[in-house]
């Protein structure tokens, strides 16, 4: 949930995987399976060493536990990382070797797409692993819808108004950010956008009428909502003190460089919806794919708006920041399931 690396003792299982033939070096972290099998992406990235790869897998797996619990899913938290350049020529060999390790876990970890992997990669992994997700569709559409639902819920709970005329600054116009731009523009929001890839910014401007600003200006743009959809850690101690937006709600994982900054934002009356609440739409779509049932998928994704409203009201009542309250609500659900399991 921030830069701190959770202790190994907090995990059910951490697997350090290797394969001599392909040269695979990967880590699978299973944080908690109380609510169900762990689901989380396979990230492919070149890390400086195995310790850095394990640290990333652990941080991400822990966040998945909270994300699943708050989204009301019967899933736990897990994640895996392959320590390799995504452009490696032998990536298929690496993915297949990694898949054999996943399959050895007997379904305790269900893989999904993540940074450096694609839907086609998950199809390949699915030739070895019995249960995979995001092998049929890119979950980004649903992530975008969930973020917009979170913005709608937050603005409704705070000001009792809709999205029309709301000024939203979007940092990053990739798979998720550009769809958030389209959805918000359809509801009458006024957009300010930035991407380090100028072509993407120009495409969004042409479709939505958004004002394009340089990437260096987006975090302090004159907007109501800051919506980070690029890298994590963008709200650091300095920005938390100087931010002019009244809401921080985005898709990027670990938006706060340190979860303690949630208290700084609260003290400044800035409404912050934790990313593990706002960006759960993709996970909800992955869960539906695994269940083989899309019937209530959109409804479940839109329910992120209700979860957001409840979270903000609970945080207001308790006088606590939203990250602490969201984690407490997730832990309560897991503890309840654990207690029920023990009495059966």
- Where along the sequence are the contacts to ligand NAD (CB under 6 A)? 115, 139-140, 143, 171-177, 194-197, 200, 215, 229-232, 251-253, 279, 282
Nearest CB to ligand NAD, comparing residues 140 and 322: 140
Provide the token pair at 269: 């009356």
DSSP per-residue codes, 205-263: HHHH-PEE--GGGGGGSS-SEEEE-S-S--B-HHHHHH---SEE--SSTT-BSSTTHHH
Q: Catalytic site residue 241?
A: no
Smallest gap, in angstroms, from Cβ of residue 82 to ligand NAD? 16
CA distance readout (Å), 113 to 109, 119, 338: 13, 6, 29
Smallest gap, in angstroms, from Cβ of residue 231 to ligand NAD? 5
Nearest CB to ligand NAD, comparing residues 1 and 97: 1
E-assigned strand segments in the chain: 13-19, 24-32, 38-45, 76-83, 109-113, 167-171, 190-194, 211-212, 225-228, 247-248, 271-272
Nearest CB to ligand NAD, comparing residues 86 and 126: 86
Annotated catalytic residue, options 79, 190, 241, 342: 79
Smallest gap, in angstroms, from Cβ of residue 196 to ligand NAD? 4
**Can you tell me whether residue 153 is helix, strand or coil?**
helix
Smallest gap, in angstroms, from Cβ of residue 198 to ligand NAD? 10
Smallest gap, in angstroms, from Cβ of residue 161 to ligand NAD? 26
Nearest residue to ligand NAD on Cβ basis: 174
Nearest CB to ligand NAD, comparing residues 143 and 208: 143
Q: State the burial class of residue 328 (Cβ atoms within 10 Å of its Cβ: 0-12, 13-18, 19+).
A: middle
* Short-list 213, 223, 142, CA closest to 183: 142
Nearest CB to ligand NAD, comparing residues 298 and 337: 298
Task: Report the catalytic residues.
Answer: 79
């Amino acid at each position: 949930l921030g830069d701190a690396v959770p202790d190994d003792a907090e995990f059910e299982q951490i697997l350090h995987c290797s394969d001599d033939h392909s040269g695979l070096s990967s880590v699978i972290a299973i944080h908690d399976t109380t609510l169900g099998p762990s689901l989380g992406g396979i990230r492919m990235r070149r890390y400086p060493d195995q310790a850095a790869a394990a640290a990333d897998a652990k941080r991400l797996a822990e966040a998945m536990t909270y994300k699943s619990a708050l989204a009301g899913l019967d899933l736990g938290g897990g994640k895996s990382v392959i320590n390799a350049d995504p452009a490696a020529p032998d990536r298929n060999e690496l993915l297949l070797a990694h898949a054999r390790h996943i399959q050895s876990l007997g379904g305790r970890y269900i893989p999904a797409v993540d940074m450096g992997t694609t839907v086609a990669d998950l199809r390949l992994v699915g030739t070895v692993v019995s249960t995979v997700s995001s092998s049929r569709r890119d979950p980004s559409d649903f992530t975008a819808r969930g973020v917009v639902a979170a913005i709608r819920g937050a603005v409704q709970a705070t000001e009792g108004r809709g999205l029309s005329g709301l000024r939203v600054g979007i940092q990053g116009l990739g798979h998720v950010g550009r769809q958030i731009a389209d959805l918000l523009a359809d509801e009458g929001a006024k957009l300010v956008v930035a991407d380090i890839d100028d072509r993407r910014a120009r495409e969004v401007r042409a479709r939505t009428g958004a004002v394009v600003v340089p990437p260096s200006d987006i975090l302090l743009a004159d907007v109501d909502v800051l919506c980070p959809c690029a890298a994590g850690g963008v709200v650091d101690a300095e920005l938390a003190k100087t931010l002019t937006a009244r809401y921080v709600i985005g898709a990027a994982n670990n938006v706060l460089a340190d979860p303690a900054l949630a208290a700084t934002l609260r003290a400044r009356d800035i409404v912050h919806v934790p990313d593990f609440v706002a960006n759960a739409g993709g996970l909800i779509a992955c869960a539906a794919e695994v269940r083989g049932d899309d019937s209530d998928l959109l409804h479940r994704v839109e329910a992120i708006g209700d979860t957001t409203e409840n979270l903000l009201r609970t945080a207001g009542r308790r006088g606590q920041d939203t990250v602490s309250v969201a984690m407490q609500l997730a832990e309560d659900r897991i503890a309840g399931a654990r207690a029920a399991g023990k009495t059966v």
